[in-house]
Structure 1
Amino acid sequence: MPDFRLLWLGRVAAVLGIQIQSSALLWQVYEIARRDHPIEEASLYLGLVGLCQFLPLLAFTLPAGAMADRRDRKHTVTLSIIVEGMCAGAFLLMAMHGSPPLWGLLAVAAVFGAARAFLAPASQAFLPMVVGRRALPPAIAAQSIAFQTGAIAGPALGGVIVAVSVPMAYASAMALFLAAMACFILIRTKGKPQVDPSKLGPVQQVKEGLAYVWKTKIVLGAISLDLVVVLLAGVALLTPIFARDILHVGAIGFGLLRASFGVGALLMALYLSRFPIVRHGGRWMFGAVAVFGVCTLIFGLSKSVWLSGAVLFLGGAADMISVNIRQTLIQLATPDHMRGRVSSVSMLFIGASNELGEAYSGVMV
């Protein structure tokens, strides 16, 4: 499948860009904030990074899902990645001027969050059009491998590049977004979704998507689980604090800590692509959530960089089990003309759990 290979490579490039940019942004914001504020107040600015990316997700994700069921999904993905590349360029220009204002960094982060709001539902709904329904479970596992490849290499590379130069990190992210854009442009599969026979307007389509999620309990349960767990156990945003002021391992250690979670998730994704879970999915999912929670608790108490890295590794593996089961359930239970809207609801819950959970973590430090 040449188109799936391009889709896979584009996802790797995009995730690499996001992770490198995120590493640079978190480190830069924390470094600037720590010049004039104690740890408690500086951590609040890290929370604001998550909040600034969540609010656009909250505002635009549901309309973006309706658009993904009406407009060409491939075009939406490509345009969203172009905007992400422009945001990386804006970060680069500000970083080249020394110490940019925190409000400027947060404003660009909000624009980046808006682009992600349109990218996520369109890209998730586009996958079944490329591979077909029968190949969907292994394709989801392969997409998870693509994501975790970027999630591992991105923070590690980001930490190393940030240690050399923050502007270089933003330039690398911008180049990767351009590479991702090229991959999606080269995909030949048409991205126009099946026509919704209801002919509803955009607002009615959003309501129809919400109603479908609410009445389809297996989809609602799978989406809700991520919100509850990660909202109360989001630690990714706090890694600059642990790396700089608790574990004292610097920018490179910060990147390696962020990569540890992705290493565990990638190895588990590789295993699941070869040996997918076909029985007792509910038990596996809830067991994985329990392991994830325990790992988060140990990470918060750890004073050892090796223990912190180990529990992040195990937490990543457990999280991948849960993610794989939930995404497979959602895709298989959703008809094509509803996939954009259902994916948007899923991404809204994921955004609430990740970005809002990180904002909550920053406030609670």
Structure 2
Amino acid sequence: MKWKEQIHQLHAYQPGKSIAEVKTHHTRHSIIKLASNENPYGYSLKVDHMLKEFGGTLNIYPDGKASKLRAETASLLEVDPNQLIFTNGTDELIQIISRTLIQPGKNTVMATPTFSQYKHNAVLDGGEVREIPLIDGIHDLDRMLSAIDENTTVVWVCNPNNPTGTYITIEKLWTFLKKVPNDVFVVLDEAYFEYVEQPGSTIELLEDFPNVMITRTFSKIYGLASLRVGYGISSVDIIQKLEAARPPFNTNVLGQMAAAAAISDQEFVKECFQKNAAEREKYYAFCLENGLKFYLSEGNFVLIDFKWDGEEVTNFLLEKGIIVRSGKQLGFPTCVRITIGLTEQNERVREAIKEFIKERSMNG
């Protein structure tokens, strides 16, 4: 087979372990999954009502324009419906952006560690990847600016950043964007936007910076990860260009309907935001009490530095029936990323961590 040379540099994305896998191979405990930043509170009851009342057929293609979902989203965000593109999760949107802008001889700038799919797609499309190390978990915007040249096509800013959860304020973003050349496309990945406590919305930046796209998802706070619906917000001109590269009928019927129902229930979003914020504070207090370093997060997860091998911590918790994400896979080898779950789940995690610290201390 005449594979692209780049394919030999890549590996398939490694998701967190499934509950079924852990139940079969690892433990007799009841299993809780806190590895993939899913919403432990599920999704809006409006989605359930929609699914129960669904009377359509499955042999007809979905609405290629996602008209109802487009209208609901545009209304909430107060943007022109033509400023939106809908995709099979934001993973597909990242892929579309890379496919349309990154090629041999061009480069793309991003932080490291950050969400892996920016680099993955850039490598696959033959572009040069310029990675700028985080400073204490935060994007080094000055060095990212310095890395931009005449061959830069895309700059990626994950905000809040995954896996650290750190957040760049709108004021700092505005200062950064003001210095980015107008012909460089800047992607603000806001998968966890709805969990952010700091005030303001980056959508206002689009008025001053038509070279910016904001990406968001229905997989996190809306609780629809299995239905794979994401979207982007940008200038009408950019959306038109990207639409030409979007696969036809890429969002399915149920996904569109569920997302439209979910986004219409902002009371549910508010409740999840409040519960997540309260539980996140408990993790901070726990870390302070036990001498563990952590990153202040604006997401629904917390990255904790144990100063030991993160894989060791992950495996210990796995034996207790708790699935978390080893920092070794995320660029933080001594850390573990824990999704913030239900109150009782979080208490169980913290008790297990206490056991680990005690055993590790006793064994030196």
TM-score, length-normalised on structure 1? Answer: 0.29
For normalisation by structure 2, the TM-score amounts to: 0.29
- Counting strand residues as a fraction of each chain, which structure ranks higher? 2
Instruction: Report the structure, 1 or 2, having the larger helix content.
Output: 1
Larger radius of gyration: 2
Return the structure number with greater relative CO, CA threshold 8 A, min gap 6.
1
